[in-house]
Amino acid sequence: MVWSVLALLLVVELLAWASYGVLGWTWSPAWLWVWLLPLLVVALWALTASPRARWRGAVLTPVAKVLVLTGAVVSLLVTGHPVAGVALAVLVVVTHLAARHPDVRAQLAAAGDRSRVHI
């Protein structure tokens, strides 16, 4: 179950980053923003929200995750993809609720992965 949840978290992150590419495609020059905007978001995520982030914190990490994931949903909504935006929002909420489930936490602790994987 833990690996399924971790895989879904990865899928959510990849979809969020891709949604910034969709937003970048609507900006001018599209050829630049379609790559630059997702790269900036990935850099922010890597520095603040990834398990081995340089600037992890009790406040900074959750705030960065909320901003990036909310921005991803909003970017899909404003670019004319409401179904994809709502689907991403539902997937984000369900996946993060599953990650907070006590059984998932217990399995992570038992496996000794708590130091490597921060949900």
| Inside any domain, residue 116 | no
Burial class from Cβ neighbours inside 10 Å (0-12, 13-18, 19+) for residue 90 reads: exposed
Span of 12-16, 24-28, 33-37, 104-108 with lowest mean pLDDT: 104-108
Query: Total structural domains in the chain?
Result: 1
Domain that holds residue 52: 2-111
For 9-21, how does the pLDDT look when each residue is reduced to its tens digit (9 = 90+)? 999 999 999 999 9
The tens digit of pLDDT for each residue in 34-64 reads: 999 999 999 999 999 988 889 989 999 999 9
User: Is residue 107 a part of any domain in this protein?
Assistant: yes
68: in domain: yes
CA neighbor of 2 nearest in space, from 10, 25, 71: 10
Residue 72 lies in a domain: yes
Kindly give the interhelix angle for 60-78 and 2-25, rounded to the nearest 10 degrees. Answer: 50
Within-domain flag for 77: yes
Q: How far apart are CA 55 and CA 26, in angstroms?
A: 31
Is residue 96 included in any domain, yes or no?
A: yes
What does the mean pLDDT of the chain come to? Answer: 91
Tell whether 12 is covered by a domain.
yes
What pTM was computed for the model? Answer: 0.86
